[in-house]
Amino acid sequence: KKQERERKQLEHLNKYRENLRKFWGQASKRLGRLIKNEKELAERTSKRLDKAAANGKDVTALRAKLRDAQKLIADAEQVLKDTAAKVEEALKGTDTKVIFAKIRELQKGVLEKVKAAHAALVDVIKGTKGLGGGTPTPTPTPTPTPTPTS
């Protein structure tokens, strides 16, 4: 009986580990998409800054902020890669609650990095408001109103 119970516990633990691997796979895929989107946003912002600089605007401070944001994005990407090994290490444990808590903690750590990168990008984007990236819009010339003659 004892061997049967231990075998069932081991089966349950292995099934739980598989489910957690699947959970982490989905979570890392979502986090990877978030990081990819942040990279694309940084690229579009960089192009907007290029356009503003071509129009004679001073964008040096915004470029420095953008570089900082891109560094945060790269850090978030590296943390995501490093976290995969930590998840496998956590899955070697036997207490299911501790394993799940550790994986959630790792996931939240990556998410915080992504949020910090996004906040930095938003700061840069707010700075681009009012720079005017495109061609200046021509102001309409006033048309003379005919004066009535009596």
Residue-wise pLDDT for 107-116, tens only, equals 999 999 999 9
Name the residue among 133, 127, 146, 117 with its Cα closest to residue 41.
117
Residue-wise pLDDT for 4-40, tens only, equals 888 898 888 889 889 989 999 999 999 999 999 999 9
pTM (two decimals): 0.76
